[in-house]
Amino acid sequence: MSAAPGLPPLLAANPRLDRWVGFGEPGRVTVSTGRVEIGQGVLTAMRQIAAEELGVRLERILLRSGDTDLTPNEGYTAGSQSIQFGGVALRLACAEVRGALLDHAAAAFSYSRTDLAVEDGAITHRGEPTGHDYWSLAAAVDLTRPARGAAPTETSEPRRIVGTNAPRVDLAAKVFGEPIFLHDMVLDGMLHARVVRQPRRGATLKAVDEAALRRTAKGPIEIIRNGNFLAITGPDETVVEAAAAVAPSHIAWDGLDPINPFQEEARWLLQQPSINRVVDAPPSPTPTPATNRYEATYTRMHIAHASVAPSCGVALYRDGRLEVWTHSQGVFPLRDALARTLKLDPAMISVRHVQGPGCYGHNGADDAATDAAVIALQMPGKPVRVRWRREEEFGFEPVSPAMVVTARATLDEVGRPADWTTEIWSGRHSSRPGGGGNLLAAEALPDPPPAPPATESPNPPGAGTRNGEPLYGFPAKRIVHHLIPETPVRTSSLRGLGATLNVFAIESAMDELAERAGEDPVAYRLSVLPEARARAVVEYVARISGWQPALPSGTGQGRGIGFARYKNMAAYAAIVAEVEVEDQVRVIRVWCACDAGLVINPDGAVNQLEGGIIQAASWALKEGVRLDTAGISSRDWEGYPVLRFTEVPEVTVELVGAAADLPSLGVGEAAGGPTVAAIGNAVAHALGARLRDLPLTRERVMAALLKS
Partner 1 sequence: MPTVDLIVNGREVNVSADADTPLLDILRNHLGLFGTKFGCGLEQCGCCMVLVDGRPEKSCGKPLSTLVGKQILTIEGLGTPERPHRLQQAFLDEQAGQCGYCLSGILISAKALLDRNPAPSRREIAEALDDNICRCGSHNRILRAVARAAEHMREEGGAR
CA pseudo-torsion sign 522, 526, 529, 532: positive
Select from 16, 148, 214, 389 the one that contacts partner 1 (CB under 8 A).
389
| 246 touches partner 1 by CB under 8 A | no
Q: What are phi and psi of 422, to 5 degrees?
A: -110, 115
Looking at 86-94, 469-477, 548-556, 632-640, which segment touches partner 1 (CB under 8 A)? Answer: 632-640
Task: Look up residue 266 and give its DSSP letter.
Answer: G
| 41 touches partner 1 by CB under 8 A | yes
DSSP characters over 591-632: EEEEE-SS-S-HHHHHHHHHHHHHHHHHHHHH----EETTEE
| 629 touches partner 1 by CB under 8 A | no
**Pair type for strands 29-33 and 61-65:** parallel
| 545 touches partner 1 by CB under 8 A | no
Select from 257, 447, 638, 661 the one that contacts partner 1 (CB under 8 A).
638
Nearer to partner 1, 254 or 650 (CB): 650
Binding to partner 1 (CB under 8 A) within 332-361 occurs at 355-358, 360
CB of 68 to partner 1, least distance (A): 23
CB of 635 to partner 1, least distance (A): 10
CB of 105 to partner 1, least distance (A): 38
- What does the alpha-carbon distance between residue 563 and residue 584 come to, in Å, rounded to a whole number? 24
CB of 356 to partner 1, least distance (A): 7
Evaluate whether 335 touches 351 at the Cβ level (below 8 Å): yes
Evaluate whether 525 touches 574 at the Cβ level (below 8 Å): no
| 518 touches partner 1 by CB under 8 A | no
- Please, which residues bridge with residue 124 across strands? 117, 129
Evaluate whether 430 touches 491 at the Cβ level (below 8 Å): no
Nearer to partner 1, 649 or 680 (CB): 649
Nearer to partner 1, 103 or 170 (CB): 170
Binding to partner 1 (CB under 8 A) within 167-226 occurs at 167-168, 170-179, 181, 183-184, 218
Q: If phi over 0 gives left and psi between -120 and 50 gives alpha, with beta otherwise, what is residue 506?
A: alpha
| 122 touches partner 1 by CB under 8 A | no
Select from 103, 210, 515, 610 the one that contacts partner 1 (CB under 8 A).
610
Nearer to partner 1, 467 or 601 (CB): 601
Nearer to partner 1, 263 or 607 (CB): 607
Nearer to partner 1, 175 or 532 (CB): 175
Length in residues, the chain: 708
Amino acid of residue 159: R
Looking at 265-273, 387-395, 411-419, 685-693, which segment touches partner 1 (CB under 8 A)? Answer: 387-395
Q: Can the peptide bond before residue 448 be classed as cis, meaning omega within 30 degrees of 0?
A: no
The SS3 assignment for 424 reads: strand
**Pair type for strands 116-119 and 122-125:** antiparallel
- What does the alpha-carbon distance between residue 85 and residue 74 come to, in Å, rounded to a whole number? 9
Looking at 18-26, 79-87, 305-313, 453-461, which segment touches partner 1 (CB under 8 A)? Answer: 305-313
Evaluate whether 86 touches 74 at the Cβ level (below 8 Å): yes
Evaluate whether 583 touches 702 at the Cβ level (below 8 Å): yes
CB of 274 to partner 1, least distance (A): 32
Q: Can you give the binding site for partner 1, defined by CB under 8 A? A: 38-41, 165, 167-168, 170-179, 181, 183-184, 218, 236-238, 241, 306-310, 355-358, 360, 387, 389-390, 603, 607-608, 610-615, 618, 636-638, 642-646, 648, 650-651
